[in-house]
């Protein structure tokens, strides 16, 4: 006959099972553990006034004589019944014979089993590997739990990985191991989520896979950190992402090439218009002057006609000059600073909007294609302001640094709404952004202090010098 556990016994205090010490003659409860008081809803003083019949009114007295498990129902203080499995053992308590009854709540066990079944069903249907990862204070790593998805993802069984946790790091490609370790240590130090993606070599299939690891950490009392998370195969999406990036890079390269060819064609057309049409119109002007000088003095109609044709030639020369400037401003041959200063003055005169140009450099030496592209961005920005901003003041600033060159175009207009940037036909901003990207730079559009918009272009200088 064993001895009843002391009320100070750790098992007696902490176990989830209900423990009762009964008098064998009267079946009155002599003692009960905290779990018994909690489940029956009786405090320690009240429960020792009850008998086993009060707790289990349907339990026959003779069933206590068997050593087998007894299935019955207990009654809580509020009258609610719950199923229990009862084991009764003779013991000695306070040097007197007694009965120790151990009751396990079958409803809690069933709920636990249902929860376990649901967990296993979810894990088995999760497209990846569900796992627990533990990092001890001494740096030792282990996998306390690994789902059966391990084989499909890593080419290792769950048992193999749990027995040899170091094999996971061996799967990570050497180029990606440092980022994996850095992410792990950062998560352990901050107790923030661990989110890492990288490549592994799966020897079973002689193949490289991209995997994504997401886990939530928590610290353990012994100083260890444990994560619960999931690993998934992202090879297909990663390859698609890389292909999209490569496609975008090729598209940007093609766009830059088209812009370059377009500017070259504009330059060629502008030169031909200037040289051929300009020369012919000048010759026509000279011939008209000679003919007008030989007209009869008394024929006023012919003199008026000659004057009209001369004015028409002047307007045509002005049109040729304007078209040539639109195609490629010859002022660009004098440098970017001069070209921007000229463009600002032209904008102010044509749009009727006060416009200022500021720069800290007298000249900036750039590749002609770069200078033209930057000039076109500023030109497009000013055109957008004239069309949409309803501004009364515009400022253009050219900033020259040792490694970067930047241009800011600021206005005090109505500003630009986020929805305006994503309009299907919003090609102006897109064209400016593509030109900046082709220069290896960036273009940002932000709200100006006090209202309006700031368009900022920043490009990296590649060996070009700025004259102070």
Q: Are residues 159 and 216 in the same domain?
A: yes
Q: Specify the pLDDT at position 275.
A: 75
Residues 26-31, mean pLDDT to the nearest whole number: 92
What is the reported pLDDT for 298?
A: 76
Structural domains of the chain, count: 4
- Does residue 448 sit in the same domain as residue 361? yes
- Do 437 and 360 fall within a single domain? yes
Question: Is there a domain that residue 178 lies in?
Answer: yes
Cα distance between residue 340 and residue 372, in whole Å? 10
pLDDT above 60 for 31? yes
Q: Does residue 290 form part of some domain? A: yes
Residue 117 within a domain: no
Cα 248 from Cα 117, distance rounded (Å): 47
Examine the domain organization and report whether 266 and 350 are in the same domain.
no
Is residue 116, in this structure, part of any structural domain at all? no
Please state, as a whole number, how many other Cβ atoms lie within 10 Å of the Cβ of residue 55. Answer: 27
* Rounded Cα gap, residues 274 and 284, in angstroms: 15
118 within a domain of the structure (yes/no): no
**Do 278 and 386 belong together in one domain?**
no
CB 214 within 8 A of CB 230: yes
Pairing of strands 70-75, 81-93: antiparallel
Tokens at residue 349, please?
């005169």
Contacts of residue 48, defined as CB under 8 A and 6 or more positions apart, other chains included, come to 28, 29, 30, 31, 32
Q: Are residues 335 and 429 in the same domain?
A: yes
Last residue of a domain, one of 48, 78, 111: 111
Average pLDDT over residues 27-45: 92
Taking residues 314-326, report their average pLDDT.
Answer: 81
Q: Indicate if the alpha-carbon torsion angle 358, 364, 369, 370 is positive or negative.
A: negative
468 pLDDT more than 60 = no
Share of residues in the chain with pLDDT > 90 (%): 31
Q: In Å, what is the CA distance from 69 to each residue of 27, 57, 82, 86?
A: 18, 17, 16, 6
Mean pLDDT over residues 91-119, rounded?
78
Helices (H), 364-449: 368-384, 418-421, 427-438
Residue appearing with tokens 């627990």? 132
How many Å apart are CA 277 and CA 283, to the nearest integer?
Answer: 10
| 155 pLDDT more than 80 | yes
Last residue of a domain, one of 213, 233, 253: 233
Answer yes or no: is 213 within a domain.
yes
pLDDT digit string (tens) for 330-358?
Answer: 777 788 888 899 889 988 998 899 999 99
What secondary structure does DSSP assign to 74-112, as a single string? EE-TTS-EEEEEEEEEEEEETTEEEEEEEEEEHHHHHHH
Same domain? 369 vs 454? yes
Give the CATH number, domain containing residue 179: 3.30.450.20
**What is the mean predicted confidence (pLDDT) over 364-381?**
83
Q: What is the dihedral of CA 150, 154, 155, 156, to 10 degrees?
A: -50
pLDDT at 463: 47
How confident is the model over 178-190, as a mean pLDDT? 95
User: If you ran DSSP here, which 8-state letter would residue 140 be given?
Assistant: -
Q: Are residues 297 and 405 in the same domain?
A: no
What is the C-alpha to C-alpha distance for residues 216 and 229, in angstroms, rounded to an integer? 6
Tell me which of 89-98, 105-114, 171-180 is least confident: 105-114
Tell whether 10 and 98 lie within a shared domain: yes
82 part of a folded domain: yes
**Structural domain harbouring 78:** 2-111
Same domain, 267 and 342: no
Let me know whether 390 and 435 are in one domain: yes
CATH number of residue 405's parent domain? 3.30.565.10
Judge whether 120 lies within some domain.
no
Residues 88 and 11 in one domain: yes
Choose the final residue of a domain: 233, 267, 288. Answer: 233
Average model confidence (pLDDT) across the chain? 84
């Amino acid at each position: 006959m064993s001895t009843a556990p002391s009320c100070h016994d750790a098992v007696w205090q902490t176990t989830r099972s209900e423990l009762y010490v009964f008098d064998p003659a009267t079946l009155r409860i002599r003692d009960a553990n905290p779990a018994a008081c909690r489940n029956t809803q009786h405090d320690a003083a009240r429960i020792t006034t009850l008998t086993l019949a009060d707790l289990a009114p349907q339990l026959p007295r003779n069933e206590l004589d068997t050593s087998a498990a007894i299935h019955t129902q207990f009654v809580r203080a509020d009258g609610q019944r719950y199923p229990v499995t009862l084991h009764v053992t003779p013991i000695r308590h306070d040097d007197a014979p007694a009965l120790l009854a151990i009751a396990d709540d079958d409803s809690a066990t069933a709920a636990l089993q249902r929860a376990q079944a649901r967990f296993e069903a979810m894990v088995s249907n999760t497209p990846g590997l569900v796992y627990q990862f533990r990092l001890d204070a001494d740096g030792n790593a282990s996998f306390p739990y690994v789902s059966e998805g391990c084989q499909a993802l890593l080419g290792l069984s769950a048992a193999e990985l749990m027995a040899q946790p170091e094999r996971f790091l061996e799967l990570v490609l050497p180029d990606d191991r440092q980022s994996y370790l850095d992410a792990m240590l950062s998560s352990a130090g901050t107790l923030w989520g661990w989110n890492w993606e990288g490549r592994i070599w799966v020897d079973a299939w002689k193949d490289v896979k991209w995997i994504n690891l997401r886990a939530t950490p928590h610290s353990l009392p012994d100083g260890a950190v444990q994560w619960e998370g999931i690993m998934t195969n992202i090879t297909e999406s990663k390859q698609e992402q890389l292909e999209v990036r490569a496609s975008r890079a090729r598209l940007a390269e093609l766009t830059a090439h088209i812009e370059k060819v377009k500017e070259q064609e504009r330059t060629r057309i502008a030169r031909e218009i200037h040289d051929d049409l300009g020369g012919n119109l000048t010759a026509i002007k000279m011939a008209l002057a000679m003919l007008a000088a030989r007209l009869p003095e008394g024929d006023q109609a012919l003199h008026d006609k000659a004057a009209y044709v001369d004015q028409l030639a002047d307007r045509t020369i002005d049109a040729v000059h304007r078209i040539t400037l639109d195609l490629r401003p010859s002022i660009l041959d004098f440098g970017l600073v001069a070209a921007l200063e000229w463009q600002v003055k032209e904008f102010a005169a044509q749009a009727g909007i006060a416009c200022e140009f500021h720069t800290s450099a007298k000249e900036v030496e750039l590749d002609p294609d770069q200078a033209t592209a930057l000039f076109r961005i500023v030109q497009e920005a000013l055109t957008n302001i004239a069309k949409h901003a309803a501004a009364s003041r515009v400022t253009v600033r050219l900033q020259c640094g040792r490694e970067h060159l930047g241009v800011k175009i600021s206005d005090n207009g109505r500003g630009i709404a986020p929805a305006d940037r994503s309009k299907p036909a919003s090609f102006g901003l897109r064209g400016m952004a593509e030109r900046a990207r082709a220069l290896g730079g960036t273009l940002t559009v932000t709200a100006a202090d006090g209202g309006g918009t700031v368009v900022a272009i920043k490009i990296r200088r590649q060996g070009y010098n700025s004259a102070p």
